[in-house]
A and B are shown apart, each in its own frame.
Chain A
Amino acid sequence: MTIFNFKSKLGQQALAGSIAAAALMATTYPALADIAIEAQTIEVAPASDAKRVYVTDPGHFQMTSQVFTIDGKTSKMLGMVDAGKLPHVMVGDKGKFLAVANTWYDRIARGNRDDYIEVFDTSTHEVTADIDIPEGRFLTGVFPHMATLSTDDKHMLFQQFSPVPAVGLVDLENNKFVKMIDTPDCYHLFPAPEQNVYMHCRDGSLLQISYDAEGNAEQKHSKVFHAEDEYLSNMPYYSDVTNHLVWPDYEGQIFQAELTASGAKFKKPFEVFTDEEKAAKWRPGGWQLITVHDKTNELYLLADQRAEWTHKSPSRYVFVVDGNTGKRLRRIELKHEIDSIAVSQDDQPYLFALSAGDRAMYTFDAKTGKKVGEIGSLGRYPHILTLPQDSE
């Protein structure tokens, strides 16, 4: 608002001058108050470790989002970065930087669209790079694997759905967009070594895209690895360190693959639930509903007793199984309605469990299931967890 009269403006200036003078006196004559003036600084977050957690709150498809930085060891808030509509948050260089893919409009929810990548230092939370990209990010409820860093952190890739399917390639070494790579009708992005990235296609195959620094690409499909009526959830687990893909379907069947530069190697699927449990209507459910401790290959699946077609509703339990054998190891009762889970990759892992409804993150010892922490007031509808997959 800029409407005011001259008289009131003079009054405002006089008031501001008085406040400034008082502030100056306060700093010039501390002895008058007979106490030491406290230092006033800006914090720098500690270096990222295996239990650094980022919680993304896109609200309900709102125009602005928040990405909260949390020390998972203590459930302490360390800071926050802003993001636009339905952002993708990626952690690189063993946790040293955070890349956020954004969409923004110059008249709030209309006008000119601007898509861009911001890179943040994870200690200072200051922007270290700002890269313009074409206005083509695929805007959905946030599926973390629709944008990714390459395994060497030199590139970032994002998916476009309209006007034509494509993958955008961004050069993070030179902070520039490279090219849109045309693709068929495929989804998600799973990076593999030597400048390869995989997508999952409608026909049930994986598409391997091999690209060079200019965005020239070769593409080939794997075999079809799941049936048409085996509905794979929107949230697989994928490690860009081990290149291990773990993907539950709506009923608790687990599909796995190792994604290499020479192709995808599939494992035999297994069922998490016994026939008796299936009869009792145990099914996976939630948003980020599976996570893996890579070193032990323990799979954590968020599940509950539920009706068919309630696959996105929260769950109260986690089933832990051996990813090599499918053997049940333990079950953790979370005692909260949980939408998303993620496990840290250190030797004493914590299981982080996010409740959008509670606007809170609960922390458990992943081995014992004992609750060890909690933090609340996380925005409006937080439901995405991002952890470093390796750390120093």
Chain B
Amino acid sequence: MTKKLGFDAAIEKLTRRTANKTGRRSFVGKLGGFLVGATILPLLPVDRRGRLSEAHAASASGGDVLRAGWTPQDQDPQACDYWRHCSIDGNVCDCCGGTLTSCPPGTSLSPSSWVASCYNPGDQQTYLIAYRDCCGKQTCGSCACLNTEGELPVYRPEFSNDIVWCFGAENDDMTYHCTISPVVGKAS
């Protein structure tokens, strides 16, 4: 498995070090701050070229498309292989009454997020995506996608897409509707 590099590794080391060296509540506060403050991450002076470029270089193994690996396109944002959706798990909000950066009417936008580095074949650049869940309604159901490019196990939650990322949503509604895929930084 390709080792984590750059931005992701830096975040990982920061959170590991914090978890081991600080008190529990202090750690949670910092982790929560990190998650909620995902939009400030592009300001961090780190290398974000990361896993995706290397993972993307792996060729498809043949067989079913689900196992063939990630080959992004930049034309159809409602398709699961749209480049921004490289680590999305859920429904694309653009198919649910929202857009790539806005939630559908009547939902609430969670301030927390998980992150991934996604390669855009259109400009051949890699961008940092902070996936955010729209909450407070039943699962949308349209454009359901499960992409796991660079996705890590739940014990590294900031890179895990299995979590209902509705922490901090209005009324504390921990109910998942769909996901937006905003760019929050350029990685290369």
The interface-forming segment of A6-14, A196-204, A364-372 is A196-204
A165-B28, A309-B70, A309-B151 as given contacts; A109 in contact with B55, CB under 8 Å: no
- Across the interface, which residues of B come within 8 angstroms of A201, CB to CB? 19, 155
A85 CB within 8 Å of chain B: yes
Query: Which single residue of chain A is at the shortest CB-CB distance from B175?
Result: A109
- Tell me the bound Cα distance from A265 to B151 in angstroms: 29
A110-B137, A202-B156, A309-B150 as given contacts; A105 in contact with B1, CB under 8 Å: no
A60-B141, A305-B61, A307-B67 as given contacts; A105 in contact with B164, CB under 8 Å: no
Query: Which single residue of chain B is at the shortest CB-CB distance from A159?
Result: B154
- Tell me the bound Cα distance from A337 to B172 in angstroms: 37
- Tell me the bound Cα distance from A370 to B151 in angstroms: 35
0/1 string, B137-175, CB within 8 A of A gives 1? 111010010101111111111001011100100011111
The answer to whether B138 touches A62 (Cβ under 8 A) is yes
B27 CB within 8 Å of chain A: yes
The answer to whether B1 touches A310 (Cβ under 8 A) is no
B124 CB within 8 Å of chain A: no
| Size bracket of the A interface | 35 or more
The answer to whether B28 touches A202 (Cβ under 8 A) is no
The answer to whether A187 touches B155 (Cβ under 8 A) is yes
Query: Which single residue of chain A is at the shortest CB-CB distance from B170?
Result: A110
Interface size on B, residues (CB 8 A): 61
Which residues of B in the span 17-41 have a Cβ within 8 Å of any Cβ on A?
A: 19-20, 24-25, 27-28, 31-32
- Across the interface, which residues of B come within 8 angstroms of A141, CB to CB? 89, 162
0/1 string, B26-65, CB within 8 A of A gives 1? 0110011000000000000000000100010011111110
Specify which of B60, B89, B153, B167 is in contact with A231 (CB 8 Å cutoff): B153
The answer to whether A109 touches B173 (Cβ under 8 A) is yes
The answer to whether A308 touches B2 (Cβ under 8 A) is yes
A161 CB within 8 Å of chain B: yes
A228 CB within 8 Å of chain B: yes
- Tell me the bound Cα distance from A185 to B177 in angstroms: 27
Closest CB-CB distance, A323 to chain B, in whole Å? 21
11 A–B contacts, CB within 8 A, in A order: A60-B141, A61-B176, A63-B138, A162-B32, A185-B24, A186-B155, A285-B67, A308-B58, A310-B68, A310-B69, A313-B146
Q: Which residues of A contact B (CB under 8 A)?
A: 59-63, 85-86, 103, 105, 108-111, 113, 138-141, 143, 161-165, 182-187, 200-203, 228-229, 231-234, 249-251, 281, 285, 304-315, 337
6 more A-B residue pairs beyond the given contacts A203-B16, A307-B67, with a C-beta to C-beta distance below 8 A: A110-B137, A184-B27, A305-B62, A306-B69, A310-B69, A314-B66
Q: Which residues of B contact A (CB under 8 A)?
A: 1-4, 12, 15-16, 19-20, 24-25, 27-28, 31-32, 51, 55, 58-64, 66-70, 89-91, 136-139, 141, 144, 146, 148-157, 160, 162-164, 167, 171-177
6 A-B pairs with the lowest CB-CB distances in the bound complex, closest first: A307-B69, A306-B67, A141-B162, A313-B66, A109-B175, A139-B164
